[in-house]
Amino acid sequence: MAQNTIAKYKMIVIGGSAGSLNIVLKIVAALPVTTYLSVVIIMHRKNDNESVLSNLLSARTNLIVKEVEDKEDIAGGCIYLAPADYHLLLENKNMFCLDISEKVHHSRPSIDVTFESVAEVIGDKAVAVLLSGANADGADGLHKIKQAGGYTIVQDPASAEVGYMPQQAIDQMQPDKILNGDDIGDFIKQLLS
């Protein structure tokens, strides 16, 4: 069973905005340390707190945590953060690229931009998670990941600090799972085991 799961999922991609930080920290703490899985986190944030977020995440995991640099190779066993003020895309299955095109849903990085790129490049080998937030960013991209065969998880809007973003995804599609924010980390761990 574990071999099938290892072959099945290669990337977990997590999008969040207002009110999502505590849930992201809980998810990161629950993730198993593996060499085959990459984790990508896209959060709407200001340009001045990049090291603070990296440090917060690093304190809760044994996985390597780093901000993505343009043309960086994608490695397993790492948590990659979309840098503030850049869209994060997958150039191919092995490399990231950064983009400074216009904001999407008033956001750069945009969750939709990354999710859509993951849908195109990783497809059914992705697990995508959409968390608390105050705009509709992420709903379209999550739908594309689901259409590509990836596994989709949405935070229950009732458990979100700001339920608008997850509610937009639920209104647009039927995610594979809708979970209380506190349960997402453990669910992902079970999904991967």
Active site (catalytic) residues? 17, 44, 137
28 φ/ψ angles, rounded to the nearest 5 degrees: -60, -40
HEC sequence for 1-15: CHHHHHHHCCEEEEE
- Classified as helix, coil or strand, 79 is strand
Residue 153's alpha-carbon distances to 12, 59, 78, 95, in angstroms, are 11, 25, 21, 25
* 68 contacts 83 by C-beta, under 8 angstroms: yes
